[in-house]
Structure 1
Amino acid sequence: MTKKWTDVEPTLVLVAHGTRNPRGVEMIAALAEAVGARVGTTRVAFVDVLGPSPAEVLRELSGPAVVVPAFLASGYHVHTDVPREVMASEHPATTVTRALGPDPVFARVMVERLVSAGWASGDAIVFAAAGSSDERALLEHRRAAAMLAELTGSRVGIGYVATARPSVPDAVAALRRDGHERVFVASYLLARGLFHTRLADAGSDGVAEPIGLHPDIVELVSARFLDGARAVAEHAHSARQ
């Protein structure tokens, strides 16, 4: 007896931005592998730079899908690119979860990365985000920076690598003008790529590694998927009635 679509376990489609940096691609692949070990079949798609695209991955699936946008804020890619790709795929059973950030998990991981870079309590921090032209994303960046400030008790300024202002170097310079002798950059980036590379020239006393692969991030992605899988199951239940 052939299974109906609604009887098949959903596949997690982890959607990332994309980068030409091999280490960044490897990190996303490693994240997908770690999440897949917990929740089942997991595929990776990218909205920019390289493929496969979300639409291409969704067209290959023979069962329901849960798309998890691996973005730290809900900007253009989350609000426009992902829905467009889902629609273009014509996949009949796709659930899209909310983006990964902002979330207190990231603040905790960023503190670990900062300490490894030489940061100590009392040192000022520049929260370095990719930037966006979407005010909703900028608001979420401010929320995430506030979480980091609350956790560290330090002065936290916001700087952007592209698109928005102030730039990361300008944010570092502003903190120094305010009398902070030691300023560290906290990378609010998921993986290595061009944006993270640019942080080395910001004039800070140290740059933390990207958030990267971390058990708490694996847990967060898994939780997003399970939320989406429950929505799939509820829809299937309603369809049977």
Structure 2
Amino acid sequence: MKLVLAFHGTRDPRGVAVCEEIADLVRVQVNVPVLVAFADVLQPDVRAVVDGPCVVVPVFLAAGYHVRVDIPAQIGVRSGVVVTSPLGLDAVPVVRERLVEAGFRRGDALVLAAAGSSDARSLATARRAAEMLGASAVGYVATAAPRIADVVAEVKARGRRVAVASWLLAPGVFHGSLVECGADVVSAPVGAHPLVADALVRKYYEARALVLRTA
């Protein structure tokens, strides 16, 4: 069964490059076709790529609207297609590593920055990621409140050095806004990382095994 990696989609070429880099990391671990599709913005969409039995793995940090509604709607009623859970909290160890790379120091006040969503489950995932990282607060770039710049300003007013953990998959407009949020340290996005590939491959094999057992 082929593996379809479903990304959000972005017009930023850096973000598109990250999608391809993640796919390349996955390809070296599996002996099946690995295709890239997008839930929004770019083509090919998931509908165009899912043309037979396959496992669709959403490369999203939470099960928001695109994961729960858009991707299943694009797939429709097709036999032999399985959609796994998103990357989600499996990205937390990578975020921790990105923080260290950015210069995070013990004693820094840690704040998680997420894109924001109108989906309660997506916001709950961001809060859980913050707990796992030991962050004291969560701020959002868009859609949800409080905004990350306000959270950073509040924490800095207490005389603390502030580090922002980027709960974002790839560079783009959202991550660019974090650079201007006033924090002392801002980590890079999750990006293409071996641990991301490992998580996606694991989801693929678990889903494929379930299909074979129930076939």
Q: Give the alignment's TM-score, normalised by structure 1.
A: 0.85
2:15 corresponds in structure 1 to 24
Which consecutive aligned stretches of 4+ in structure 1 deviate over 6 angstroms post-superposition? none
1:139-150 map, 5 Å:
139-149=124-134
1:219 aligns with 2:190: no
* Percent identity of paired positions between Structure 1 and Structure 2: 46
Q: CA deviation at 1:68?
A: 0.3
- Counterpart contact for 1:157–1:175, Cα < 8 Å: no
Two-structure CA RMSD over aligned residues (Å) = 1.3
- What do the CA deviations read for 1:163-183 (whole angstroms, capped 9, x no partner)? 000111011012123x24210
1:169 aligns with 2:149: yes
Structure 1 segments unaligned to the other structure (5+ residues):
1-9, 150-154, 237-241
1:92 aligns with 2:79: yes
For the pair shown, the structure with the greater C-alpha radius of gyration is 1
- Counterpart contact for 1:124–1:182, Cα < 8 Å: yes
Q: Of 55, 66, 88, which residue of structure 2 is paired with 1:101?
A: 88
1:188 corresponds in structure 2 to 167
Distance 1:213 1:143 in 2: 22
Distance 1:136 1:148 in 2: 18
Q: Of 38, 46, 52, which residue of structure 2 is paired with 1:46?
A: 38
- What do the CA deviations read for 1:125-144 (whole angstroms, capped 9, x no partner)? 22011111011111111111
2:139 corresponds in structure 1 to 159
Q: Give the alignment's TM-score, normalised by structure 2.
A: 0.95
Q: Of 45, 50, 57, which residue of structure 2 is paired with 1:68?
A: 57
Q: Of 109, 112, 129, which residue of structure 2 is paired with 1:124?
A: 109
- Counterpart contact for 1:75–1:132, Cα < 8 Å: yes
2:71 corresponds in structure 1 to 82
Q: How many residues align?
A: 214
1:37 corresponds in structure 2 to 28
Distance 1:181 1:157 in 2: 13
